Amino acid sequence: MKIVVRGANWIGDSVMTIPALKRLRSGFPNASIYLHTRSWAEGVFRDANFLDGIIPIDQSGSKVGNVLTQARELKKHDFDACYLFPNSFESALVAKLAGIKERVGYSTEKRGIFLTRAVPVPFWKSERHESEYYLNLIEPPNPLEASSETAFPLLSVSEERRANAFNLLKAHGADSRGPLVALGPGSTNSLAKRWPGENFASLSDKLRDKLNATVALLGSKEDMAVSAEISKIVSTPLIDLTGKTDLAAATAILSVADLFISNDMGLAHIAAAVDTSTIAIFGPTKELTTHPIGPRVETIREPVECSPCMLRICPIDHRCMTRITPDRVFESAAKMLETQAR
């Protein structure tokens, strides 16, 4: 049997689909399972042992042209079934045009005519973690029962990639005598999710001065400006790799870090998935449904009356983030690193 899964569209969402992908693998141990997803996702799933391959989505043409191109590509593989994680009309249309016999997805955006099994959106969607929403789409039945395979979205990173990450950090001056702490000060799709840059700078100085940590900044090219701002105002030097690595390399760096501290962003989900201690700072977004999940994750938020607002730009004073002090985050970081060292 050949199964294709249409992957999620954002980094964090992609990581949150991992428990569902593992459940699918356990339900169909002898099937060939492929992930049809955006090209950047290969950097996340490169060493995933629950997939047989990745088919990148071609987005080089017009919207109609892309649909036809994707359908032709899937048709060549002669898949027996597909599962659609995105709720979009387009993803269901592609599966239909590709001639895939069984097409499973949520009954959203009036796309039920293209699905052979249209699953109703569960009543609890806004009250449970997003990973459960993806799990609910997958058989065998009772997907919300956690198992050792699907309790956390754990990812493997090869020893070769880890060694390359160590070498890259060493080349930029990493000191192996202290802990390696990576920071994610950006957030591509929302300015409101960003803890102030000066707070990250203050936190970096505390980590360097009090814990002798090597501090590295990670993020996409869109995050380079905020990282450059932080690099200018820190009192002690740090390593700025923002925009200088692809997602595969960033994932490997996170796998060798002792701790990752960031805003609510995709890299926080990756850090948790590669079993790195993770602190995620939440403000305008809903921690209950989208926090990183893993065995060593802590979230920090300030309970203010207007949060979660889900706005991308704060119209008032950004109190949900500015009231979280560097001292508070440092205290959590120090405790995590101390526990880890025991």
pLDDT of the residue at 113 = 95
Q: Which tokens go with 317? A: 């004073």
Residue 314 lies in a domain: yes
Q: Where are the beta strands (DSSP E) in 86-241?
A: 102-106, 117-119, 180-184, 214-217, 239-240
pLDDT of the residue at 279 = 98
pLDDT of the residue at 144 = 46
Burial grade of 36 (CB within 10 A; 0-12, 13-18, 19 or more)? buried
- Residues 210, 326, single domain; the answer is yes
CATH number, residue 180: 3.40.50.2000
- Residues 45, 191, single domain; the answer is no
pLDDT of the residue at 257 = 97
Q: Which tokens go with 103? A: 């097409």
Average of pLDDT values for 281-308?
Answer: 94
Rounded CA separation 211/40 (Å)? 34
Domain boundary among 135, 151, 185: 135
Domain boundary among 135, 152, 179: 135
pLDDT of the residue at 295 = 87
Angle of helix 197-211 relative to helix 326-341, nearest 10 degrees, comes to: 40
pLDDT of the residue at 62 = 86
- Residues 72, 171, single domain; the answer is no
Residue 341 has pLDDT above 80, yes or no: no
- Residues 336, 202, single domain; the answer is yes
Which DSSP string corresponds to 141-179?
Answer: S-TTS--TTTSS------HHHHHHHHHHHHHTT--TTS-
Q: 109-153 pLDDT, tens per residue?
A: 899 999 999 999 999 999 999 999 999 999 644 544 544 445 678
- Residues 85, 169, single domain; the answer is no
Residue 19 lies in a domain: yes
Residue 37 lies in a domain: yes
- Residues 226, 296, single domain; the answer is yes
Residue 249 lies in a domain: yes
pLDDT of the residue at 176 = 81
Q: 210-230 pLDDT, tens per residue?
A: 999 999 999 999 999 999 999
Q: What is the CA radius of gyration of the chain?
A: 21
91 or 152: which carries more pLDDT confidence? 91
Rounded CA separation 158/140 (Å)? 30
CA angle 108-112-118, nearest 5°?
80
Least confident segment among 137-151, 154-168, 267-281: 137-151
pLDDT of the residue at 104 = 97
Q: 308-327 pLDDT, tens per residue?
A: 999 999 999 999 999 999 99
pLDDT of the residue at 92 = 97
Contact by Cβ (8 Å): 309, 191: no
- Residues 127, 186, single domain; the answer is no
- Residues 309, 183, single domain; the answer is yes
Residue 305 lies in a domain: yes
Confidence of residue 158 (pLDDT cuts 50, 70, 90): very high
- Residues 220, 126, single domain; the answer is no
Residue 340 has pLDDT above 90, yes or no: no
How high does pLDDT run on average in the chain? Answer: 93
Residue 178 lies in a domain: yes
Domain containing 277: what range?
161-341
Domain boundary among 98, 120, 135: 135
Query: Residue 319, SS3?
Result: helix
Contact by Cβ (8 Å): 138, 20: yes
- Residues 186, 329, single domain; the answer is yes
**What is the CB-side half-sphere exposure of residue 55 using CA atoms within 13 A?**
19
> β-pairing, 180-184 with 102-106?
unpaired
First to last CA, the chain: 47
Predicted structure pTM score: 0.93
Confidence of residue 339 (pLDDT cuts 50, 70, 90): confident
- Residues 131, 230, single domain; the answer is no
Q: Which tokens go with 241? A: 């790799």
Phi, psi of 232 (to 5 degrees): -75, -30
Residue 147 lies in a domain: no
pLDDT of the residue at 147 = 45
- Residues 89, 220, single domain; the answer is no
pLDDT of the residue at 2 = 98
- The number of domains in the chain is 2
Residue 193 lies in a domain: yes
Identify residue 310 by its one-letter amino acid code. Answer: M
